[in-house]
């Protein structure tokens, strides 16, 4: 059973220790006698889920819902019981978690996927708790029957890892991805791990040289309180590079990543300048996600440099940006310290994710929309005034028009991209500056649906067509 010292570890994360302790005792009582597939007491699973949520700095409501998340499904407890003991908010979250229990893959069980999106739109903590649940289950996946293990891993790779990415929870995304990859592509995973072991001496030498060079340069330049973290990229990241570039692992050049964490934003740009004094930057590799954050609130400066013949990717960010890059929205939940821009960006994404559910979609279009929404790739496009609009990679001009405002999209007549007239189906690239030309008499046609990339854009076009 769980020792007192382990309970204290959980309670140390809580604001109301007594309330969280009550939830633990309640869960332990109702799960009494139940076992996990590895033979351990079942209570260990909800305990670990709550502990993970505490690590992510989630609030007490989340910790308690994590402790209780399996009760309605696996015991005789009903929603009313949880409501009476812990309140309507916690009971509602646990009920929503019960409804979205199993998602085998993105192309199956679309009704359950709809429930997931609806629940997330009402309270994003539902999906954050489910991510903690999936993470713990993936850590013990070896005890599942092989067929079930593969189905479970596929759902994690296709749905939950991308959702973690969209919420900015990159640590969670990476672990989910790599554990699912190890299940679904075990041979490739083992080959990559073996090759990485062989490359370790080379990579280790490069990492030590970079750490030495940077420490010396920062010291002589008066840059202090800088943390340098270096690593070899993850197996799945390397596997994707192999497929994309049609190369063998030994031929990949950029398998090393270095993260530099500073005290403030000004130091990020100072570090960038110093970095480019030491090493030769690779042309076209610079991206400023500090000035232009990603949709999931991620901020960092990216640059790739030649380090003595080895290609190394550098990420430069502040400590606050690092916390957000690791745990995304969860990093801010308890302290309510998300910036207004981050809150607006997350809300806009959740709203757009939610609104296209209003349409009666075929199974095929629902799956297409979901895959688009969960895509990792995005671009930033500028308005004539310099405002930034984040779009899914592959978006056309009409997607941009509707992202600015529905009324602008509805009356689209033409556009200028970087000062040049372009057709509606023109595919935008990061950094493009776009001016939309409108006319009162212009209005959408069904052909626009074939051009739009974003599910939200297609929803708005359909809505306008219905209103005509």
CATH number of the domain bearing residue 211: 3.30.460.10
Q: What is the mean pLDDT of residues 372-377?
A: 76
Q: What is the mean pLDDT of residues 79-99?
A: 93
Has residue 343 been placed in a domain? no
Q: What is the mean pLDDT of residues 105-125?
A: 68
Q: Where are the beta strands (DSSP E) in 209-300?
A: 227-232, 256-262, 280-281, 287-288
For position 103, what pLDDT does the model report? 52
| Residues 144 and 214 grouped into a single domain | no
30 neighbors 71 (Cβ within 8 angstroms): yes
56 neighbors 331 (Cβ within 8 angstroms): yes
Has residue 370 been placed in a domain? no
Q: What is the pLDDT of residues 222-258, one digit of tens each?
A: 888 899 998 888 888 888 877 777 767 666 667 889 9
Has residue 224 been placed in a domain? yes
CATH of the domain at 33: 1.10.3210.10
Enter the tokens of residue 158: 């296709």
CA atoms lying within 13 Å on the CB side of residue 276: 15
For position 343, what pLDDT does the model report? 59
- Res. 125: pLDDT tops 70: yes
| Residues 17 and 162 grouped into a single domain | yes
| Residues 241 and 321 grouped into a single domain | yes
| Residues 202 and 171 grouped into a single domain | no
| Residues 401 and 273 grouped into a single domain | no
Burial class (CB in 10 A: 0-12, 13-18, 19+), 98: middle
Has residue 347 been placed in a domain? no
Q: What is the pLDDT of residues 137-163, one digit of tens each?
A: 999 999 989 898 998 998 898 888 988
For position 178, what pLDDT does the model report? 93
For position 136, what pLDDT does the model report? 96
| Residues 175 and 98 grouped into a single domain | yes
Q: Indicate the pLDDT class of residue 353, thresholds 50, 70 and 90.
A: low
% of the chain exceeding 90 in pLDDT? 53
| Residues 203 and 306 grouped into a single domain | yes
Has residue 335 been placed in a domain? no
Residue spans of alpha helices (H) in 232-313: 235-245, 265-278
Q: What is the pLDDT of residues 152-211, one digit of tens each?
A: 998 898 888 988 998 889 999 999 999 999 999 998 888 888 888 887 888 889 899 999
CATH of the domain at 406: 3.10.20.30
For position 399, what pLDDT does the model report? 95
Q: Which of 157, 184, 211 is the last residue of a domain?
A: 184
- Helix (H) or strand (E) holding 138, with range, is helix 125-139
| Residues 447 and 322 grouped into a single domain | no
Has residue 369 been placed in a domain? no
Distance CA 434, CA 99 (A): 43
- Res. 44: pLDDT tops 90: yes
Has residue 65 been placed in a domain? yes
**Hey, which residues are catalytic here?**
73-74
Neighbours of 451 (CB within 10 A): 18
For position 463, what pLDDT does the model report? 86
Q: Indicate the pLDDT class of residue 370, thresholds 50, 70 and 90.
A: confident
Nearest alpha-carbon partner for 269 in 305, 225, 317: 317
Q: Is the dihedral of CA 359, 365, 369, 370 positive or negative?
A: positive
Enter the tokens of residue 146: 């092989």
For position 244, what pLDDT does the model report? 76
* DSSP calls for 103-126: ---TTS-HHHHHHHHHHHHH-THH
Q: Which of 144, 163, 184 is the last residue of a domain?
A: 184
Has residue 248 been placed in a domain? yes
For position 340, what pLDDT does the model report? 60
| Residues 173 and 200 grouped into a single domain | no
Residue spans of alpha helices (H) in 4-43: 4-11, 17-30
* Average pLDDT of the chain to the nearest whole number: 87
At residue 183, the 3 state secondary structure works out as: helix
| Residues 169 and 210 grouped into a single domain | no
Taking the model in full, what pTM does it have? 0.82
Q: Which of 137, 164, 184 is the last residue of a domain?
A: 184
Q: What is the mean pLDDT of residues 8-15?
A: 89
Question: Which residues constitute the domain of residue 414?
Answer: 377-467
| Residues 298 and 385 grouped into a single domain | no
Q: Indicate the pLDDT class of residue 414, thresholds 50, 70 and 90.
A: very high
Name the domain count of the chain: 3
| Residues 179 and 212 grouped into a single domain | no
């Amino acid at each position: 059973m769980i020792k007192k010292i382990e309970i204290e570890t959980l309670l140390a994360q809580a604001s109301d220790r007594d309330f969280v302790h009550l939830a633990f005792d309640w869960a332990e009582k109702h799960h009494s006698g139940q076992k996990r597939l590895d033979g351990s007491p079942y209570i260990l699973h909800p305990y670990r889920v709550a502990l993970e949520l505490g690590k992510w700095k989630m609030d007490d409501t989340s910790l308690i819902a994590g402790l209780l998340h399996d009760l309605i499904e696996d015991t005789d407890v009903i929603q009313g019981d949880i409501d009476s003991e812990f309140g309507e908010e916690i009971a509602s979250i646990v009920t929503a978690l019960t409804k979205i229990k199993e998602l085998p893959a993105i192309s199956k069980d679309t009704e359950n996927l709809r429930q997931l999106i609806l629940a997330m739109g009402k309270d994003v903590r539902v999906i954050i708790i489910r991510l903690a649940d999936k993470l713990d289950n993936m850590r013990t996946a070896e005890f599942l029957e092989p067929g079930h293990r593969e189905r479970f891993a596929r759902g994690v790779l296709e749905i939950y890892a991308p959702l973690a990415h969209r919420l900015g929870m990159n640590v969670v995304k990476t672990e989910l991805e790599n554990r699912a990859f190890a299940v679904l592509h075990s041979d490739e995973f083992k080959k990559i791990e073996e090759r990485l072991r062989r490359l370790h001496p080379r990579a280790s030498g490069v990492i030590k040289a970079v750490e030495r060079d940077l420490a010396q340069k920062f010291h002589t330049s008066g840059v202090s309180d800088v943390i340098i973290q270096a690593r070899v990229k993850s197996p799945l990241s390397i596997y994707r590079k192999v497929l994309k570039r049609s190369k063998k692992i030994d031929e990949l050049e950029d398998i090393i990543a270095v993260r530099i964490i500073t005290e403030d934003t000004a130091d990020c740009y100072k570090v960038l300048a110093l970095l480019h004094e030491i090493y030769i930057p690779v042309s076209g590799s610079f991206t400023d996600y500090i000035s232009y954050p990603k949709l999931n609130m991620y901020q960092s400066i990216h640059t790739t440099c030649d380090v003595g013949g080895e290609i190394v990717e550098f990420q430069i960010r502040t400590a606050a940006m690092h916390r957000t890059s690791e745990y995304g929205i969860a990093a801010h939940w308890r302290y309510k310290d998300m910036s207004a821009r981050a809150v607006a960006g997350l809300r806009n994404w959740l709203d757009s994710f939610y609104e296209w559910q209003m349409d009666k979609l075929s199974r095929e279009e629902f799956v297409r929309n979901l895959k688009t929404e969960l895509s990792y790739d995005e671009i930033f496009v500028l308005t004539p005034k310099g405002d930034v609009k984040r779009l899914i990679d592959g978006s056309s001009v009409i997607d941009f028009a509707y992202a600015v405002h529905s009324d602008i999209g509805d009356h689209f007549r033409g556009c200028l991209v970087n000062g040049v007239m372009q057709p509606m189906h023109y595919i935008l690239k990061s950094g493009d500056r776009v001016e939309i030309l409108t006319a009162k008499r212009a209005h959408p046609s069904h052909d626009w649906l074939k051009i739009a990339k974003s599910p939200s854009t297609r929803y708005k076009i359909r809505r306008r067509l219905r209103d005509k």
